[in-house]
Amino acid sequence: MVHSVTSCVGSKKGIAEELRSSKELLKVLALDIEKSEDGRDFKKFNEVVGFCEQILRIVEAIPEKKEIVFLDCSCGKSYLSFALNYILSKQFSRETFFYGVDINPDLIERCSRIKDSLGFKNMQFVHARIIEALPEKPVDMVIALHACDTATDEAIAKGIKLRAKYIIVVPCCENQIRGRLKNGHPLVDLTEFGLLRYRFADILTAALRSKFLMGSGYCVKLVEIAPPKCTPKNLMIVARRKKGNKSFSMDGYNKLDEMFHTEFILKDYFRESDMCYEDNVHHEKC
């Protein structure tokens, strides 16, 4: 009997039960979720469950006969891709393909061994920088779970360059602009305090990424994938590429970037030619 995706969407417990039922998967991934709720494995499991919930909501709108191609950026041990593959392919009979890319060759070799042991033939792991990865299949979803610091920006840039239909990221540490918020901007009275500067840098970074995606032709929303008690790094950026011939502007991004003098790294991944796509869609230059 084939489960419907809808039966699992909207219920993190339902998704968790699906993953818990695969003892082999959890064993191969070395995820011991029976430890205390303060344990790293338990927290990682809940982050993956929350991410999967958002993906399943999107999958509902994709025709069942359509193969869904994922690019998992800075995949690490690929907990997310293995879990999604299990849920979508094994439980819901959706045709999928997963690319995993990471700069750590040992992790890529580990993931390749795991996918072979699980019999997942619809996965390929590549040792490369995110921005240099060259997937053979057209990518539907670029995903990243806690890609460290600017690796999240590489994932966003790669998704834009690939014209992925969805770019879905949950950032990790965000250090690039924190040191630039000490002076020379309108909120110096706020950012003179170290802890507030730290938190505001996270908010500003999420806003810059979201504005850049909007300026690149994406609809953007921000959601939480898990309670803050589980992890403070729970903010997800969900971006969906707009259809049709429309004109987009980087004004919002540029104003925010200039206001705080961030010199944000995202624009460094693009040159003038990169921001003019096919089908006559005009993007203002970064």
DSSP characters over 11-58: -HHHHHHHHHT-HHHHHHHT--TTS-TTSHHHHHHHHHHHHHHHHHHH
Give the length of the chain: 286
State the pLDDT at residue 6: 39
How many angstroms from the chain centroid is the CA of residue 265?
17
Architecture of the structural domain at 5-145 = 3-Layer(aba) Sandwich (3.40)
State the pLDDT at residue 9: 43
Angstrom distances, CA of residue 266 to CA of 79, 156, 218:
26, 8, 15
Domain ranges of the chain: 5-145
State the pLDDT at residue 35: 62
129-136: long-range pairs with CB below 8 Å, 24+: 129/101, 129/103, 129/154, 130/73, 130/74, 130/101, 130/154, 130/155, 130/158, 131/157, 131/158, 131/161, 131/269, 133/71, 133/73, 133/99, 133/101, 133/158, 135/69, 135/71, 135/99, 135/162
State the pLDDT at residue 8: 40
State the pLDDT at residue 275: 53
Angstrom distances, CA of residue 193 to CA of 62, 182, 184, 224, 264:
46, 9, 15, 26, 22
State the pLDDT at residue 269: 93
Angstrom distances, CA of residue 203 to CA of 125, 175, 178, 233:
32, 12, 11, 11
State the pLDDT at residue 241: 95
Instruction: Kindly give the confidence (pLDDT) of every residue in the chain, 286 residues in length, as a single tens digit, with 9 standing for 90 and above.
Output: 333 343 444 444 488 888 887 888 888 888 777 665 567 777 888 889 999 999 999 998 888 888 999 999 999 999 999 999 999 987 788 999 999 999 999 999 999 999 999 999 999 999 999 999 999 999 999 999 998 878 999 999 999 999 999 999 999 877 788 888 888 899 999 999 989 998 999 999 999 999 999 999 999 999 998 777 777 778 999 999 998 766 789 999 999 999 999 989 999 999 754 554 333 333 333 3
- Tell me if residue 167 falls in helix, strand or coil: strand
State the pLDDT at residue 220: 97
pTM (2 d.p.): 0.87
Q: Which two tokens stand for residue 131?
A: 């921005």
